[in-house]
């Protein structure tokens, strides 16, 4: 029988992967919507769909063989059960190489100074509200979700919460509410 800590660690890692996968899905979906906005012509939407297909093909050709094709509704759906390691060097390298194929060049690759300041203020607020060890944000995600309960990427500013902080505790939840950390 597995111990409670082992189960919590697996659950936390899965949450981190789901959150990152969600961010990738949202980023890819936003790029598709942005590319198709402003025009109701099917040719514009078809161009965006073709760009997503080219992106998928590029990802597979550059070391991510199980990368899916776009869905019929648009965008690319990356499920936690897909077997893709979004943290692997090969995934990150393929993504960097292929992003130019996304409509509009994909989501922004750099964080704004105002977003960095906001994230730093949230981190300081969390510490003031009793969450000792709450990390300052960075501009890069960890290379692996292991050891983190939350990996939150907001506009290129990453806050990686280590497993040593109990994100389910009432104190954390209260601080998160007071500091607008979601």
Q: Concatenated DSSP letters for the chain?
A: ---HHHHHHHHHHHHHHHHHHHHHHHHHHHHHHHHHTT---HHHHHHHHHHHHHHHHHHHHTT-TTPPPPPTTSS----GGG---TTSHHHHHHHHHHGGGSGGGSS-SS--HHHHHHHHHHHHHHHHTT-TTPPPPBSS--S-STTEEEEEEETTEEEEEETTS-TTSHHHHHHHHHHT--
pLDDT score at 74: 63
Query: What are residue 162's phi and psi, to 5 degrees?
Result: -70, 155
Report how far Cα 8 is from the mean position of its chain's Cα atoms: 21
Between CA 79 and CA 134, with CA 7 as vertex, the angle to 5 degrees is 80
pLDDT score at 5: 44
Query: What are residue 95's phi and psi, to 5 degrees?
Result: -60, -45
Between CA 57 and CA 65, with CA 60 as vertex, the angle to 5 degrees is 140
pLDDT score at 46: 62
pLDDT score at 45: 59
Q: Model pTM?
A: 0.48
- Residue spans of the chain under pLDDT 70: 1-48, 73-74, 79-81, 104-111
Task: List the structure tokens of 12.
Answer: 């936390």
Other beta carbons within 10 Å of 86 = 20
pLDDT score at 47: 59
pLDDT score at 6: 44
pLDDT score at 172: 95
pLDDT score at 175: 95
CB of 29 closer than 8 Å to CB of 88:
no
């Amino acid at each position: 029988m597995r111990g409670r800590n082992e189960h919590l660690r697996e659950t936390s890692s899965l949450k981190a992967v789901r959150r990152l996968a969600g961010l990738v899905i949202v980023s890819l979906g936003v790029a598709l919507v942005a590319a198709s906005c402003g025009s109701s012509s099917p040719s514009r939407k078809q161009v965006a769909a073709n760009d997503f297909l080219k992106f998928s093909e590029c990802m597979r050709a550059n070391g991510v063989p199980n990368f899916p094709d776009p869905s019929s509704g648009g965008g690319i759906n990356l499920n936690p059960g897909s077997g893709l390691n979004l943290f692997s060097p090969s995934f990150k390298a393929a993504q960097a190489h292929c992003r130019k194929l996304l409509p509009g060049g994909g989501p922004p690759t750099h964080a704004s100074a105002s977003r960095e300041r906001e994230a730093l203020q949230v981190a300081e607020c969390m510490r003031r509200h009793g969450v000792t060890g709450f990390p300052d944000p960075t501009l890069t995600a960890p290379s692996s979700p292991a050891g983190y309960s939350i990996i939150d990427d907001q506009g290129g500013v990453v806050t990686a919460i280590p497993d040593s902080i109990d994100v389910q505790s009432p104190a954390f939840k209260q601080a998160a509410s007071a500091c607008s950390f979601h």
